[in-house]
Amino acid sequence: MAKETPRIEFDPAEIDNPVLAFFLQYWRMKRGSRIMPARADIEPREMKTYIGWVCLLDALPGYTDFRYRLVGSRVSEYFLGDGTGRTVSEALADANKRILEGALWLFRKTCNDHAPIRVWSPGGEWKGRYYPDNDALYLPLSSDGKNADMVMNVFTFNYEEYKKTHSLRTMTHHG
């Protein structure tokens, strides 16, 4: 059986994942007639139902790396830790090089294209634990209206499956 590969959709017209669909619509509403909205346009209280799925990253000069300013609680749980304040390179230092390069490429592409990118990835193992499929949206933000200087990344997965597989593994390994 062939291993599934990630799927990428550039500037999706619509999205069937309700959380990602909310954020795509929200981003477009906040953008208005501009190329992209600013961080100042984003109101956490307007997305409080979904805030646990959100990461905000600052773009470093030349898009050499990106620093996590905010990491939502569900994202932290999925990746076994809070990456707030760390760069993508630091947060993924233990990952295989292809994963790190792919993540940086996605953030750079989002910033350079000034457009949303949706990525679906199959489940797998990370740090010795199983993780379900994930579905993510990358949304560029700009404080000057021309250059992307932040990315709002919305990272979703089947939370119930995640909790079940991780509690089963915990019981199996410790019980």
**Highest-pLDDT range among 14-18, 28-32, 160-164, 167-171:** 28-32
Report the amino acid identity of residue 16.
D
- Asked if the structure places residue 2 within a domain, the reply is no
Predicted local distance difference test score (pLDDT) of residue 113: 97
In a domain, 40, yes or no: yes
32 within some domain = yes
| 77 and 94 Cβ atoms separated by less than 8 Å | no
Mean pLDDT of 127-156: 88
**Average pLDDT over the chain, rounded to whole?**
84
Note whether residue 146 is domain-resident: yes
pLDDT at 159: 47
| From 1-10, 91-100, 103-112, 145-154, the region with the lowest mean pLDDT | 1-10
Does residue 150 contact residue 140 with C-beta atoms inside 8 Å? Answer: yes
Q: What is the pLDDT of residue 173?
A: 37
| Spatial distance between the Cα atoms of 155 and 137, rounded to a whole number of angstroms | 7
Lowest mean pLDDT among 96-105, 107-116, 124-133: 124-133
φ, ψ of residue 123 in degrees (nearest 5): -65, 170
CATH number at residue 53: 3.30.450.20
Q: What's the total number of domains in the chain?
A: 1
Work out the angle at residue 119's Cα, subtended by the Cα atoms of residues 117 and 125, and round it to the nearest 5 degrees. 150
Whether 100 maps to a domain, the answer reads yes
Domain of residue 37 covers 7-174
Q: Is residue 1 part of a domain?
A: no
Under 8 Å between Cβ of 20 and 135: yes
